[in-house]
Amino acid sequence: MGTRWTACYIEVAEDEACENDTVARVDENDSKNDEPDQGWTQWSNLPDHILERIFSHLTIKERYYASLTCYGWYRAFYLPHVWSNFLVEDATLGRMRYNYYSGWQPVLDHSRLQSCLLSVGHLIRGLDFRPQVSFNNMFQFMSLISWAMEQNARTSGCPREWVGCGSRIRSLNYLFPCNMALSEDPESIKLFGTGGQLLAALKRLMLCLTNLQSLSLVDLILERYEANHLLDEVLESCCLVLRRLCLVNVTSHHCPIMHIGLFLNLQVLEVSPQNVDDDVLTLLADSKVKHLTLLQNRYTPPALAISPCSAKAWLTVRRDNPKLRVHLRVESTTNAVILLQPEAPVASMIYQTPKTMITSDQLVAAVDAYKYTLTVYGHEQLTVGVESPIDGEFQERPDSLLVLMARSCPGLNALMVRECISTATILLIAKSAQNLRHLYINRAQVKLGCDWPRSPDWTDEFYGWLQTTSGSLEATEREVSRILDHPYWHLLSVEQFQMASLMRHVAF
């Protein structure tokens, strides 16, 4: 009796196809003759919690193909954590269709979308909309899933196959591509806001999400009359259950959003400064909000064009809501600065801008305003298009400003420095800051040695220690590690500095 052979086919892309068009043949009896010490792994027998994490990082298409390999992976396709976040982009569940003006464009395939929602619609816990060009696809997706949830809300007559669709959704993220400028010029900005039928579909969807706990709406750039009624449906459907709310650039001009102070159990709020005023702060003073982030991005008006809230309003907030912590953050590709809020209980100031440098006016103003509340400060990302010479003069560097902050802010816990400073400055920062535990320094911008003029308060022993220790990077790292009580502290390489983030120290 002859040996039985089976063909094993592997789907590959055309550009990854092998030069020889050979089909691999596998002898089923070979597996019985394998030596026991060859160490074959059983991928099909991975634990469910590991398969969930692996499948959650795959696209819908990749999850489907993986589910065809074996029964274990087919079962993993329906595990709840796999569908904790459903990302909707232009080409999600779509097919390509030729347009005479734009060429091939992705078009939503209604049969695929319906099949997907019927299969896993009851498992989806989060929706993440990120349209790029095909806004019509987003509109149709929102309309269909809203219709399915409306059928479930009916007291009777809901189609059996749609039962439970969307019932587990707890988070909704919507990022609108408001910049319609040409991609050839990354610095150009041409803003267009959402609205019309797409905004109506979004509001219809938010009305159906009665168990929503986290909502994020970014860069909508609405008109004033649209912004004033943006959260009407959300307030009606989940006034008591919403915990996290992110509203970034609801408008491009001053327009307070009063709704944000009416959610009774809201704990984390992220909003742009042009959408907050004294009246909003009065509502937040009587709320349960614990963390308020005032975020400025590249589409937010410049700080000089926005008026901060009054000191009187912030004092009322500090009196009536003493647990509230304010976080100031700016994300931009330009030389953007943070809008300071007088008398606000600011706990963190984070610059995510590659062109903003430390200046005496900004840092001294921040220290004077928030020296008793500030715990996190730093500039993330490497500098781009800005000269920061490693051998610059001491007066031109921010060494003395950073030491001033370390001495003046007793609660400072995390500090990130990307500009050129000396090893002596690093030692002085670690020695001066009382509660500093996390210090991030870019090794490429560290200047070796002590170029500080001697202070009258320094003893001979201290000044000698400073000069000797700052003479080498290894000695500096050992001393800072000892002072911070961090046995593995070290200066960061360029790659490590790019991966570091202060957001992990802002506890939400």
Output the domain CATH number for residue 77. Answer: 1.20.1280
What does the pLDDT read at residue 289?
A: 95
What does the pLDDT read at residue 11?
A: 42
Residue 329 lies in a domain: no
What does the pLDDT read at residue 390?
A: 62
What does the pLDDT read at residue 16?
A: 41
Residue 351 lies in a domain: no
Residue 495 lies in a domain: yes
Cα separation, 74 vs 78, in Å, equals 7
**Which DSSP symbol is given to 4?**
P
> Which residues lie below 8 Å from residue 32, measured CB to CB, with a gap of 6+?
none
What does the pLDDT read at residue 38?
A: 54
What does the pLDDT read at residue 207?
A: 94
Helix axes 311-320, 278-285, angle to 10 degrees: 10
Residue 363 lies in a domain: no
What does the pLDDT read at residue 19?
A: 39
Final residue belonging to a domain, choices 35, 59, 81:
81
Residue 86 lies in a domain: no
Residue 480 lies in a domain: yes
How many separate domains does the chain show? 2
Entry pTM = 0.86
What does the pLDDT read at residue 389?
A: 56
Instruction: Give the residue ranges of the chain where pLDDT is below 50.
Output: 1-34, 36
Residue 428 lies in a domain: yes
Final residue belonging to a domain, choices 61, 81, 101:
81
Nearest alpha carbon to residue 110 among 122, 90, 125, 95: 95
The DSSP secondary structure of 100-128, one letter per residue, reads TTTEEEEEE-HHHHHHHHHHHTTT--EEE
Residue 492 lies in a domain: yes
Task: State the residue range of the domain holding 64.
Answer: 44-81
What does the pLDDT read at residue 186?
A: 63
